[in-house]
Amino acid sequence: MLPAERRDLLLARLRADGKLVAKEIAAEWGIPEDNIRRDLRDLAAAGLCQRVYGGALPAAPAAADYATRTSVAQASKRRVAEAAVALIRPGATVLLDGGTTALAVTAALPVGLDVTVVTHSPTVAAALVGHRRADVYLLGGRLFKHSAVTCGAATVEAAARVTADLFLLGVTGVHHRAGLTTGDPDEAAMKRALAGRAAETYVLASSEKIGAASPFEVLPFAAVTGVITDLAGEHPELVRLREAGAPLSLSCA
């Protein structure tokens, strides 16, 4: 079997099973495990999988740069955003994460809703300028340009002075083994800090994030109140997520 053929078969298996275990595939195919590991390194370098100990998981399309993400799964993000907005009660204080799904939340938010929004995303804050009854607080700090959000010690310190009813959390991967993940360790830490300031945390999980993984864990499933997705309940990865204890009761499918 040629290396290119192996890599194509590995990607097909990854899509079907949601994971690859190098040792098992090497034994099944009767080839050295080092060959499989080398193939996985090549696939990971091309952004086609996320390597983990012993194998690989699907890579997260949501880990692409901000401009690219604006055109990914737009309809799914809109449906997830609409379901998230339904959780916001008049007079509530909401922590709203950065990213393109959070931006979809601002589009779905009623213009006249009486709400306080705290965010570390300049783009999210700017999108709420026309919401006449929304008080908007922007957390300062160093701008992490990949996701257009502020991060770092100054942002964490500012977040520590906030007490919110609800945190709408953005991630790049929701996977039954890897959990809730994102692509940068500082951004992951910032998200944990925000989650620690809210009574409830809901994950904005548009379709491209389900079954995908990024390098850094944000939170375990037990630490969030719900995962909002628009995928159908019988989707194989949703079945795996339920078995892993992910709170998927708020699926908007």
Query: For 175-198, what is each residue's pLDDT tens digit?
Result: 988 899 998 999 999 999 999 999
- H-helix or E-strand spanning residue 243: helix 236-243
Structure tokens, 175: 């996977």
* Of residues 44, 60, 15, 47, the one with CA closest to residue 210: 60
- Provide the mean pLDDT of the chain: 87
Rounded Cα gap, residues 196 and 188, in angstroms: 13
pLDDT of residue 72 exceeding 80, the answer is: no
1-17, pLDDT tens digit by residue?
677 778 888 888 887 77
Q: What is the mean pLDDT of residues 43-65?
A: 74
Let me know if domain 3-58 sits in CATH 1.10.260.
no
126-140 burial, b at 16+ Cβ within 10 Å, e below that, comes to ebbeebeebebebbe
Write out 22-83 in H/E/C secondary structure: HHHHHHHHCCCHHHHHHHHHHHHHCCCEEEECCEEEEECHHHCCHHHHCCCCHHHHHHHHHH
How, if at all, do strands 173-175 and 179-182 pair? antiparallel
* Of residues 158, 143, 221, 226, the one with CA closest to residue 194: 158
Residue ranges of the domains in the chain?
A: 3-58, 66-243
Q: Residue 147 has what pLDDT?
A: 83
pLDDT of residue 206 exceeding 80, the answer is: yes
Q: Residue 41 has what pLDDT?
A: 85
Rounded Cα gap, residues 211 and 179, in angstroms: 9
Say if 3-58 and 66-243 have the same CATH topology: no
Q: Residue 42 has what pLDDT?
A: 84
* Of residues 60, 57, 62, the one with CA closest to residue 40: 57
Let me know if domain 66-243 sits in CATH 3.40.190.10.
no
pTM of the model: 0.78
pLDDT of residue 43 exceeding 60, the answer is: yes
